[in-house]
Amino acid sequence: MSETSEKKESNGCAEFKKCLEILHLMLANEASSDEEGYFHEHIGNCMFCFEQYEVEKQIKELLQTKLANRPVPADLAATIRLKVFQSA
Ligand SMILES: [Zn+2]
């Protein structure tokens, strides 16, 4: 058999464009069950798309958390840094 597949393609997935479309539909809760089924089957075999999915999902959750709570002040990082310095 061939050993050429030993070196993985670093730029991911031949179906990536399609996967990304479905991924975004899923995040918007607009994917059909066919599309969702395809995607879940696909990420079972494709680590590249699986990672994209995890990243996008976490971004979405992060945004939802932020929207659910008060907007995070732009100077929050500075405030935290100040507190760390003060308690040190
Ligand atoms: Zn893929």
Quick: pLDDT tens for 15-38: 989 999 999 999 889 999 999 999
pLDDT at 13: 92
Q: What does the pLDDT read at residue 78?
A: 75
The two structure tokens encoding residue 32: 């059909």
Domain presence at residue 8: no
Residues 54/48, Cβ–Cβ less than 8 Å: no
Domain that holds residue 71: 13-87
| pTM > 0.75 | no
Total domains in the chain come to 1
Q: Report how far residue 53's alpha carbon sits from residue 82's, in angstroms, rounded to the nearest whole number.
A: 35
Average pLDDT, the chain: 81
Residue 7 falls inside a structural domain: no
- Domain assignment present for residue 4? The answer is no
CA atoms within 13 A on the CB side of 6: 4
Residue 2 has a pLDDT of 46
**Measured in angstroms, how far is the CA atom of residue 15 from the centroid of ligand 1?**
5
User: What distance in angstroms lies between residue 10's CA and the mean position of ligand 1's atoms?
Assistant: 12
Per-residue pLDDT for 54 more than 50?
A: yes
In angstroms, the Cα distances linking 41 to 34, 51, 60, 61 are 11, 14, 22, 23
Classify residue 3: in a domain, yes or no. Answer: no
Distance 11 CA to ligand 1 centre (A): 10
Please tell me the distance from the alpha carbon of residue 21 to that of residue 70, in angstroms, as a whole number. 31
**59 or 73: which leads in pLDDT:** 59
64 within some domain:
yes
Report the separation in Å between the CA atom of 22 and the middle of ligand 1, taken as the mean of its atom positions: 11
